[in-house]
């Protein structure tokens, strides 16, 4: 028998986060290419991102065919499009001047799955890439990461929006993530909880 789900936030009722969700609007257009394995993941931060910024667009898939509709949309867009992905060619977002509203593409998955998405979709490499200068470790401590500079997709979106729109308040995003992290940790047995303190 499946657990009762909150109809609004779509988390289990016992883990409902509705009280921690504060909607916000941004000028930057956020588009997430999500690995299929992330969709049903209980710790998926993209679900929170969509709740806080309702205009967030999520495309689930792996191959170019899965993203045909998105590619057509991007080809018709008059806004500059950037891929958020650190590489030797990517630019620090702080060093780029944004004179107009932009579209940001995020790859949602583990580092390995995000890299696989990039390799399976060479069309993504046609867009200029941006990265963040990470000074502190992620607060997304309920999921394991192989790199100290790993961020959840929500954190990356918050930091990117703040860099592009300096006057935009992004605390609703971070507050929602903190609420989920704290809720998950509080529901753990004491022996497991110690690992996250």
Alpha helices by DSSP H, the chain: 45-52, 68-76, 111-120, 153-164, 171-186, 190-193
CB atoms near residue 107 (< 10 Å): 22
Residue 8 domain flag: no
Residue 4 domain flag: no
Please tell me the predicted confidence (pLDDT) of residue 197. Answer: 53
Residue 175 domain flag: yes
**Are 130 and 160 in contact, with CB atoms under 8 Å apart?**
yes
Please tell me the predicted confidence (pLDDT) of residue 7. Answer: 85
Per-residue pLDDT of 75-109, as tens digits, reads 999 999 999 999 889 999 999 999 889 999 999 98
Residue 2 domain flag: no
Residue 3 domain flag: no
**Are 84 and 130 in contact, with CB atoms under 8 Å apart?**
yes
Residue 107 domain flag: yes
Q: Which residues of the chain have pLDDT under 70?
A: 1-2, 40-43, 134-150, 184-197
Please tell me the predicted confidence (pLDDT) of residue 154. Answer: 92
Please tell me the predicted confidence (pLDDT) of residue 143. Answer: 41
Please tell me the predicted confidence (pLDDT) of residue 131. Answer: 93
pTM value is: 0.83
Please tell me the predicted confidence (pLDDT) of residue 3. Answer: 72
Please tell me the predicted confidence (pLDDT) of residue 137. Answer: 41
Please tell me the predicted confidence (pLDDT) of residue 59. Answer: 97
**Are 16 and 90 in contact, with CB atoms under 8 Å apart?**
no
Please tell me the predicted confidence (pLDDT) of residue 195. Answer: 56
Specify the CATH number for the domain of residue 26: 3.40.1280
Per-residue pLDDT of 110-128, as tens digits, reads 889 999 999 999 999 999 9
Q: Structural domain of residue 75, as residue ranges?
A: 13-194
Residue 48 domain flag: yes
- The domain total for the chain is 1
**Are 118 and 124 in contact, with CB atoms under 8 Å apart?**
yes
Residue 1 domain flag: no
Name the pairing type of β-strands 103-108 and 81-84. parallel
């Amino acid at each position: 028998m499946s657990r009762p789900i909150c109809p609004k936030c779509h988390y289990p009722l016992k883990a409902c986060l509705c009280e921690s969700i504060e909607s916000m609007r941004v000028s930057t257009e956020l588009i997430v290419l999500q690995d299929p394995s992330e969709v049903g993941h209980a710790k998926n931060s993209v679900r929170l991102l969509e709740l806080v910024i309702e205009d967030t667009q999520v495309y689930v898939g792996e191959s170019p065919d899965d993203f045909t509709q998105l590619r057509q949309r991007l080809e018709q867009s008059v806004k500059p499009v950037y891929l958020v992905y650190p590489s030797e060619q990517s630019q620090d977002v702080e060093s780029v001047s944004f004179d107009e509203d932009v579209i940001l593409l995020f790859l949602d998955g583990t580092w390995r799955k995000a890299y696989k998405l990039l390799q399976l979709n060479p069309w993504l490499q046609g867009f200029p890439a941006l990265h963040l200068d990470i000074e502190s470790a992620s607060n997304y401590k309920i999921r394991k990461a192989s790199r100290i500079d790993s961020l959840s997709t929500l954190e990356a979106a918050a930091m990117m929006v703040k860099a592009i729109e300096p006057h935009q308040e992004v605390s609703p995003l971070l507050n929602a993530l903190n609420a989920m992290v704290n809720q998950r940790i509080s529901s753990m047995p004491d022996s497991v909880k110690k690992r996250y303190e």
